[in-house]
Chains A and B, each alone.
Chain A
Amino acid sequence: MVPWEIISKASSFIAEEMGVALRRSSLSPNIKERSDHSCAIADSNGNIVAQAEHIPVHLGSLRVGVKLLLKEIEKEGIGLNEGDMIVSNDPYITGTHLNDVTLLSPIYHGDNIIGYVVNKAHHIDIGGPSYGSINPFATSIYEEGLIIPPLKLVEKGNIRRDILSIILSNVKVPRISDGDFKAQIAANIAGIRRVRELISKYGIKDVLDGWKSSIAHAFKLAVDEINKWPEGTYFSEDYLEVGQHELVKLKGKVTIAKNKILVEFPNAPKQVEMPFNAVLGVTFSAVSFPIRSVMRVEIPVNEGFYSIIDLRAESGTIINPVPPAPVSGGNLETSQRIADLIFLALSKAIPSRVPAAGSGTMMNVMMGGFDEKKGQRWAYYETIGGGSGARPNSDGISGVHVNMTNTMNTPIEVAEATYPIMFTSYTIREGSGGNGRYRGGDGMVRSFKVLSKTRISIMASRFLSSPWGVGGGREGKKARVVIRKANGEVISINPLMSMVLEEGDEVIIETPGGGGYGEPE
């Protein structure tokens, strides 16, 4: 008899190895420099048994996405043979936004599918009117890029040229997308091979039993932890920018009960014709992340952990929209606010474990154009971190990503060598963290000049509302973006913008600081 711990551990190693294969062979800076990807193994029912921890917003979404994808495959009558790989980026199925492309492969043992390997990676561009696809002015998902329904990208081990051609014909830098698809395929091949090795070493029964026990174990760790928290219902409120000047109020309601946590959003705003709708997978991620973060035990992130969360999100709202609502910013910005909301509610139950609000925005910058000097089109996507919230026992950290993202920056020297831009500063935004017994971390300043005509779009939040403090700690400073035109004109811009820059225009981006903790002394 092989102890399940061994199967469990080996399985999470496999998920990590898949991530290595993906990262090292990909072309887009999103994946190779910023690690905007995730890998997992699921059992035959689509339950996540092991995940590599890369980006929080992908992780919970795989839990929702894999099951929905399997359901869709069954509904459409798509038979899965050995060597097949299903591709899809439909956010209403795979659970984030169009740029995140999911690739799922069955693991066969004899004639039976005994599980799946799956990976998800953020493609730099997936079509649509905007460079980088994320379109601040989309009113429906059709303006956010190409929707790929569940299709076989790989059939019995061979890439389907027809499918790949349709996709590559719709994206702005096809050679990069081509490389990234192949890297995703390589990751699944590596995953399948290693699961097979595991089966041939330990036998199919032990592997499947090991997966079951691994899920049961995570469940036990999770419930033992939450059962120590004070039972009760805790409320919170926060604001989200939707559009250029408008704030909507989001309400959170978290009920800690025996063996489960019930999460509701009373009177959630209706879905909007702007890209701030968070599909269910995103909302689930943004709810599970804060809960996981305040636990003081190491818990394998699998179905066992996820199943303690009971999420109720009304259909047709901003936190569970129906097609064709646009969703890109739901994944990027609304997710940040949902996480803030859950943290704030939890801070009322277990104050000693919850920090003040962090910057709360990913500060997404999408740029592109035609580089005259190199004679080629370019597309660049960057997210910029800010300050983390002060903690009950220490200051917040300056210049980091918080909540639902953890992508690395693109090095300035890599960006300058790749795109027609030149940086003018990259510093800590001193004094932007909220004051308090412990100070919030400071945000950042990142600024650059464009060297040729460029379209820039920005999607962000915390321009109009501030990251909150806790226990008398002060708010962090809001975000601010200014464009200094080559002719000297200075334009202050909104959280949602898109415009054309001329050669020599400078963009100065300041990200929010985190909130403070406790009354300042």
Chain B
Amino acid sequence: MSTIAVDVGGTFTDAIYIDNEGKLRITKVPTTPLNPALGVIDSIKKSKGLNEVEEVLHATTIATNSILGQINLELPRVALITTKGFKDIIEIGRQNRPKLYDAFFTKPRPFVPRELRYEVNERTTYEGKVLKGIDEDEINDIANDMVKKGVVSIAVSFLNSYANDENERKVKELLQDRFSFITISSDVSPEPREYERTSTAIINALLQPIVSSYISSLASSLSGLRSPRFSIMSSAGGLISLEEAIERPVQLIESGPAAGAIAALELSKLLGIKNVIGFDMGGTTAKASSIINNEIEIVDEYEVGGESHHGRIVKGSGYPIRFPFIDLAEVSAGGGTIIWRDKAGGLNVGPISVGAEPGPASYGRGGDKPTITDANLAIGRLGENLAGGQIKLRKDLAISALKALGEPTEVSLQALELINLEMARAVRLVTVERGLDPSSFTIMAFGGAGPMHAAYLAEEIGVKSIVIPPEPGLFSALGLLLADSRFEARKAFPKDLEQAFSELEAKLREKLGDVDEFLRYVDVRYEGQGYELRLQVTSFDRHEIEKEFEELHKRTYGFTLSIPIEVVSARVFAIKKRKKVGLGEARENGVKSPSGYREAIIRDHWEEVPIYGREGLPKGFSIKGPAIIEEYSSTTVVPDGWTASVISMRSIIIERC
């Protein structure tokens, strides 16, 4: 089957096309930020004759960018229907201010203005007992008012609907003939905590009209094809159908980054490596994800538009969404991150970055602020020709920008050490928080800048082996080709586990038809705790689950308690396997000698470092550091003390020697 995978990034839209014989072809076209569908269509057309594509896989930023206002798009008018007395819950949030010491702080503005928040006289208890049902007349009046005010999409969120969704469903039934887009909170987030659930429902309601029109515009442009199957990457790292994407678009928020993490997961399975840290470093951010026993870590909550503080989003700074997300710790650390001195002369990196325009000083497009790319260039780790010579960097401009901060070499070395520390922080978040020792992991480094920093990061956290995948700069697009279809369903406070799982699985079968595998999880805690630990369910036996929980608790926090244990939620992922593409193998007889030498500082002194071209290296070939390996989409630095070897799947492994 011929498949195309399209990943829309901030600057470029990457496409990888695979034909019937399994041959890969790579295309990069500029992204049109105001109309990302253009880049997608363009890349498909450029890749191959339209008619031949049978399947399109897509990672999109449409959801996040619409919410962040990065697309010139008027947001649809969304109304909220909620329990009487509680219309301001979305405005109050958790009542904290996102910044402690800022007298000029702001809170995110609610997407539903007060005049579009409707209160309904209804009530359900925490035990799920309906104290007051829905009055049809009341809903009709609200409907009339919403029509008058031009409401396009509706979120319905009632107190305690996680325990019983009866009243929410009733409202949906009453409104569905008059409105195309209705989200009920118990459908998108059937869990307690009214603010987070309501916020999730509102974001879903906001995205429904946007995603629906984006998808139909894509579909109509592709109608010349022999109707290819179309799937989109979800934040949980599985491909979902267009229908699912339109129904619950909240799950597209981290579509792009999830594709990268899934790429790391699938390649690590192919290579037989069980515990992996996915390390994705691009132009503005670095992201870390963790893979444990060939399973990727999933979290339940994310704040879109939130401010990040050392890798974690500051609570209350964005709009919370409760839905499964691949756990990514994100720090402002990329090639474009700015190096600067504070008022007392301390050197700092980030969090501001220069963006695509004007870019780092060395791009010669008018930027005068020194960046991480400039630092790497100044000390020779990065060469002056990028992307096979398509981009020329100017070392003189990099050095003169760095000079403003002090002796350029010294500044560069110190800045790179600081940024590696910042990234180590992100890695610790996705490992230490779960009681895992990062040094027992392998780093898989990708993104344009990942392979250049990977060894230094590894030394910081004690990691002894690193994998550089094929096409590291386009690895996220490659991830789409490696992903499975994956749908999620969950239930809060299941009474009977076996029954809960069989209900959830029946629901997923209805959506998906045949399912290859169900992955069952439970979130467990001591009664009264606010955070759960997640276990994969291998048996429905209560004692077994409790025993596993206690072991994990001990490992994570160092103690156990003698109080009852409760299962907070049951969750199932239905997996439908897709045929995976082969990544191919490196050639048997290639070039074993350096293509040249360059003066660079790998540790603390200048030296002649051999430069190798990755494309020509044969399988099985080893290089002892110090060395630099260059390719179309990235540059890999191998410091002394490390050895790089070309292994299967066109990958490179770098190990401590």
Q: Do A and B bind each other?
A: yes
Give residues of chain B (287-340) contacting chain A, Cβ–Cβ below 8 Å: 310, 315-316
Answer yes or no: B563 CB below 8 A from chain A CBs: yes
A220→B86 contact, CB < 8 A: no
Digit string of B521-532 for contact with A (CB within 8 Å is 1, else 0)? Answer: 000001011110
Which residues from chain A contact B531 at a C-beta distance below 8 Å? Answer: 23-25, 32
A189, B561: Cα distance in complex, Å: 17
Known interface pairs A221-B343, A293-B103. Does A412 touch B159 (Cβ–Cβ under 8 Å)?
yes
Kindly provide the distance from the CB of B302 to the nearest chain A CB, expressed in whole angstroms.
Answer: 17
Digit string of A17-55 for contact with B (CB within 8 Å is 1, else 0)? Answer: 100110111111100110100000000000000000100
Which residues from chain B contact A21 at a C-beta distance below 8 Å? Answer: 557
Chain A interface residue bracket vs B: 35 or more
B101→A401 contact, CB < 8 A: no
Which residues from chain A contact B591 at a C-beta distance below 8 Å? Answer: none
A409→B418 contact, CB < 8 A: no
A75, B108: Cα distance in complex, Å: 51
Digit string of B546-578 for contact with A (CB within 8 Å is 1, else 0)? Answer: 000000010011110101000000000000000
**Which segment of A102-110, A127-135, A246-254, A420-428 sits at the interface?**
A420-428
Which residues from chain B contact A294 at a C-beta distance below 8 Å? Answer: 103
Which residues from chain A contact B353 at a C-beta distance below 8 Å? Answer: none
B85→A25 contact, CB < 8 A: no
A6→B88 contact, CB < 8 A: no
B530→A29 contact, CB < 8 A: yes
Kindly provide the distance from the CB of B16 to the nearest chain A CB, expressed in whole angstroms.
Answer: 37
Residue of A28, A182, A428 touching B91 (CB-CB under 8 A): A428
Kindly provide the distance from the CB of A125 to the nearest chain B CB, expressed in whole angstroms.
Answer: 13
Residue of B102, B418, B433 touching A293 (CB-CB under 8 A): B102
* Interface SS of B by simple majority: loop
Kindly provide the distance from the CB of A123 to the nearest chain B CB, expressed in whole angstroms.
Answer: 13
Which residues from chain B contact A13 at a C-beta distance below 8 Å? Answer: 310, 425, 428
Known interface pairs A185-B559, A399-B95, A400-B96. Does A17 touch B88 (Cβ–Cβ under 8 Å)?
no
Which residues from chain A contact B346 at a C-beta distance below 8 Å? Answer: 5, 217, 221
Residue of B89, B107, B344, B529 touching A220 (CB-CB under 8 A): B344
A397→B105 contact, CB < 8 A: yes
**Which segment of B147-155, B191-199, B201-209, B224-232 sits at the interface?**
B191-199
A147, B160: Cα distance in complex, Å: 40
A427→B559 contact, CB < 8 A: no
Digit string of A401-417 for contact with B (CB within 8 Å is 1, else 0)? Answer: 11000111101111011
A220, B432: Cα distance in complex, Å: 34
Kindly provide the distance from the CB of A400 to the nearest chain B CB, expressed in whole angstroms.
Answer: 5
Digit string of A208-234 for contact with B (CB within 8 Å is 1, else 0)? Answer: 000000000100110011000000000
Digit string of A381-410 for contact with B (CB within 8 Å is 1, else 0)? Answer: 000110010010110011111100011110
Given A35-B315, A426-B92, 15 new contacts (CB under 8 A): A13-B425, A21-B557, A24-B530, A25-B529, A26-B530, A29-B530, A186-B557, A186-B559, A190-B558, A221-B344, A394-B104, A399-B88, A409-B95, A425-B85, A444-B88
Answer yes or no: A310 CB below 8 A from chain B CBs: no
Which residues from chain B contact A9 at a C-beta distance below 8 Å? Answer: 418, 421-422
Known interface pairs A426-B85, A426-B92. Does A411 touch B195 (Cβ–Cβ under 8 Å)?
yes
Answer yes or no: A16 CB below 8 A from chain B CBs: yes
A-binding residues in B (CB < 8 A): 85-89, 91-97, 100-107, 125-126, 159-160, 162, 192-196, 310, 315-316, 342-348, 414, 417-418, 421-422, 425, 428, 432-433, 526, 528-531, 553, 556-559, 561, 563
Answer yes or no: A292 CB below 8 A from chain B CBs: yes
Answer yes or no: A493 CB below 8 A from chain B CBs: no
CB-based nearest B residue for A295: B101
Which residues from chain B contact A417 at a C-beta distance below 8 Å? Answer: 126, 192
A224→B559 contact, CB < 8 A: no
Kindly provide the distance from the CB of B461 to the nearest chain A CB, expressed in whole angstroms.
Answer: 10
A186→B558 contact, CB < 8 A: yes
Residue of B88, B96, B433, B528 touching A426 (CB-CB under 8 A): B88
Answer yes or no: A175 CB below 8 A from chain B CBs: yes
Which residues from chain A contact B530 at a C-beta distance below 8 Å? Answer: 23-24, 26, 29, 32-33
B97→A401 contact, CB < 8 A: yes
Answer yes or no: A183 CB below 8 A from chain B CBs: yes
Question: 5 interchain pairs (CB within 8 A)?
Answer: A13-B310, A293-B102, A385-B96, A400-B97, A411-B193
Give residues of chain A (441-490) contacting chain B, Cβ–Cβ below 8 Å: 444, 447
Kindly provide the distance from the CB of A460 to the nearest chain B CB, expressed in whole angstroms.
Answer: 15
A251, B94: Cα distance in complex, Å: 33
A293, B346: Cα distance in complex, Å: 21
A426, B87: Cα distance in complex, Å: 8
Residue of A3, A27, A53, A409 touching B528 (CB-CB under 8 A): A27
Answer yes or no: A354 CB below 8 A from chain B CBs: yes
Known interface pairs A27-B528, A186-B559, A416-B125. Does A297 touch B342 (Cβ–Cβ under 8 Å)?
yes
A393, B104: Cα distance in complex, Å: 9
Residue of A16, A182, A292, A406 touching B97 (CB-CB under 8 A): A406
Residue of B106, B421, B529 touching A6 (CB-CB under 8 A): B421
Known interface pairs A411-B192, A427-B88. Does A416 touch B160 (Cβ–Cβ under 8 Å)?
yes
A179, B103: Cα distance in complex, Å: 35
Residue of A175, A189, A297, A384 touching B343 (CB-CB under 8 A): A297
A380, B195: Cα distance in complex, Å: 20
Kindly provide the distance from the CB of A419 to the nearest chain B CB, expressed in whole angstroms.
Answer: 10
CB-based nearest A residue for B92: A399
Give residues of chain A (188-219) contacting chain B, Cβ–Cβ below 8 Å: 189-190, 217
Answer yes or no: A67 CB below 8 A from chain B CBs: no
A407, B348: Cα distance in complex, Å: 30
Residue of A176, A182, A289, A414 touching B193 (CB-CB under 8 A): A414
Answer yes or no: A309 CB below 8 A from chain B CBs: no
A56→B100 contact, CB < 8 A: yes
A306, B104: Cα distance in complex, Å: 22
Which residues from chain A contact B553 at a C-beta distance below 8 Å? Answer: 25
Which residues from chain A contact B106 at a C-beta distance below 8 Å? Answer: 397
B92→A354 contact, CB < 8 A: no
Most buried by B among A24, A297, A353, A409: A24
Which residues from chain B contact A33 at a C-beta distance below 8 Å? Answer: 530
Which residues from chain B contact A175 at a C-beta distance below 8 Å? Answer: 528, 561, 563
CB-based nearest B residue for A444: B92
A208, B307: Cα distance in complex, Å: 32
A401→B88 contact, CB < 8 A: no
Give residues of chain A (219-277) contacting chain B, Cβ–Cβ below 8 Å: 220-221, 224-225
A408→B126 contact, CB < 8 A: no
Kindly provide the distance from the CB of B641 to the nearest chain A CB, expressed in whole angstroms.
Answer: 15
Residue of B88, B159, B315, B347 touching A3 (CB-CB under 8 A): B347
Answer yes or no: A360 CB below 8 A from chain B CBs: no
CB-based nearest A residue for B84: A425
Which residues from chain A contact B94 at a C-beta distance below 8 Å? Answer: 408-409
Known interface pairs A6-B421, A412-B194. Does A26 touch B347 (Cβ–Cβ under 8 Å)?
no
Which residues from chain B contact A189 at a C-beta distance below 8 Å? Answer: 558
Kindly provide the distance from the CB of A357 to the nearest chain B CB, expressed in whole angstroms.
Answer: 12
B421→A10 contact, CB < 8 A: yes
Answer yes or no: A355 CB below 8 A from chain B CBs: yes
Which residues from chain A contact B343 at a C-beta distance below 8 Å? Answer: 221, 224-225, 297
